[in-house]
Chains A and B, each alone.
Chain A
Amino acid sequence: MMQLDDETLNAYLDGELDPVVRADVEAALARDAEARARLEALRRVSLLGRTAVDELSRLSVDESLQERVWPLPKPEPDCPAARTGRAMTILSGALVLLLGMGLGAWLFPSSPRLAGEAAAVATAWPRQAAWFHHLAAERRTHARPLVLDVEGSEPARLQVELNRTLQQRVVVPDLSDLGLRPLGARLLVEQARPLAQIFYQDAGGNLVSLLVALDSGPDTRPRFERVDDGPATAQWRRANTRYVLVGEPERVRLQDLVPVVAERTTR
């Protein structure tokens, strides 16, 4: 009769036995109540250990370490010189676009073709939104609950908290007809500037998020960018509010979502 010592039981528990030995162990276990109880005790402490370390993994990691691992660019300074610099950059870019692609393409900057061309130039807002989005998406990948300040199951509270955070009325867009269910929102302060990121989920479990922040300036048309081969983003400004929509490019077509979101956020 097979001897069911601790090492064998642990190897069985850890899936380390080949099929023949495994079958022998199972046959021996069927006859040996004491060994079954011992196996259960080993299984139990294993589970307790895993749960305990999982709890430790829920602790937040120091932000300075996160920043060093994946540095976040500082928001662009909002000063006249910077604005002039940006204007020159935009003007140069526009000239290149006009010469290289023709007037038609320039008139429709949100076309997929131009979105691809612009992908190499990710600016601060999309990077910031993509960073928050990525952190949330990774929690989902690792079967962890999203960290949210307001749950999407309370739409009225979500709206109130968003307005309170931004000190301005910004409509939480209802995208349910597009198959997007609100999960909730993070309410954050970055560089002394309040902002919110609203998370939605489609039927396939894919995340789409919308970053909203106060950002004075003229209205802009949506600009599509891809951040470091990662999330796709679309940013625009309307009524002194910056919006950045983020989604995984393989799973979500932002070009289809942007017009709807832009229209519904300012109703």
Chain B
Amino acid sequence: MTDEDASRFPAGWLGRLRRGELARPRGRLSSGESRFRRELLALLPRMRGHALALTGAADRADDLLQDTCERVLLRWRQWNGSGSLVAWVLRIMHNLWYDRLRAEAVRATDPLPEDDPVLADPPGAEGHTELQQTLAAMVALLPEQRAALLLVSVEGLSYREAAGILGVPVGTVRSRVSRARAALVEALKPAVGRQS
């Protein structure tokens, strides 16, 4: 791999690529795996958006998405095909994210990096300071509140489904969502006030 090739990959990917740790299909795919991979492919943009909002930084999001895909592809046979693929993939993503948080001992606020070009100026949000402020407010939430809010409010999962993914009781999800939205209302008072 040349230096030019290397520059195409975000930080953190290259080492794994060189070590050959990425899940690669061997030979011809079975029709089941092929179908699974195509469904996963279609989910990638949504998963990346989720990872960006969850981690608050593009490089972390790309690492998380990469690791999630790797694990999902290794375990694809464990997905029974009857439930929601989105929920299954998100469970893996959130587990990986919490493992990483624990490892890095990242607690309390995880502020939006001001110089992150992706989150500071998302596509379609040019001139829409409201959306930028919303992202900043979401990233400033406690990680566990942000996770609950993303699953319920953005992904549209039920409290029970979110509780299953996060490994907490339904009442805890209810409480976290409530606190997260209250914090957003406080942080976005001007925008919310304009609307109401």
Contact = CB atoms under 8 A, between A and B. Distances in A.
Contacts of B125: 52, 55
Contacts of A14: 152-153, 158-159, 177
Interface stretch (A21-29, A68-76, A172-180): A68-76
For A16, A135, A230, the residue with the greatest tally of chain B CB atoms inside 10 Å of its CB is A16
Given A16-B158, A59-B122, A65-B65, A49 B41 contact: no
Interface string A65-97: 110111100000000000000000000000000
Contacts of A135: 41-42
A107 interface: no
Contact of B46 (A10, A11, A142, A230): A142
Given A45-B185, A50-B154, A70 B37 contact: yes
A35 B137 CA distance: 23
Q: Is chain B's binding surface mostly helix, strand, loop or mixed? A: helix
Interface stretch (A36-44, A110-118, A162-170, A201-209): A36-44
A10 to B, nearest CB: 5
A1 to B, nearest CB: 21
Contact of A7 (B29, B178, B192): B178
A56 B195 contact: no
A53 B137 CA distance: 12
Interface residues of A, number: 44
Contact of B49 (A37, A45, A57, A141): A57
Interface string B158-177: 11000000000000001101
Given A7-B178, A41-B196, A229-B31, A53 B49 contact: yes
Given A57-B46, A228-B34, A41 B185 contact: yes
A6 interface: yes
Interface stretch (B20-28, B93-101, B102-110): B20-28
A144 B43 CA distance: 12
Nearest to B125: A55
A64 interface: yes
Interface of B: 8-10, 13, 22-25, 29, 31, 34-35, 37-38, 40-42, 44-46, 48-50, 52-53, 62, 65-66, 69, 73, 118-119, 122-125, 130-131, 134-135, 138, 149-150, 152-154, 158-159, 174-175, 177-178, 181-182, 184-185, 188, 191-192, 195-196
Given A52-B122, A53-B49, 13 more contacts: A6-B178, A44-B195, A45-B188, A48-B184, A56-B52, A58-B49, A58-B124, A59-B48, A60-B45, A62-B62, A65-B66, A68-B73, A228-B29
Enumerate the 3 nearest inter-chain pairs by beta-carbon distance, A residue then B residue, closest first: A57-B49, A138-B42, A56-B49
18 contacts: A6-B182, A11-B159, A41-B196, A44-B191, A45-B181, A48-B188, A52-B135, A53-B49, A56-B48, A57-B46, A58-B45, A61-B65, A65-B65, A69-B44, A69-B69, A70-B38, A141-B42, A144-B45
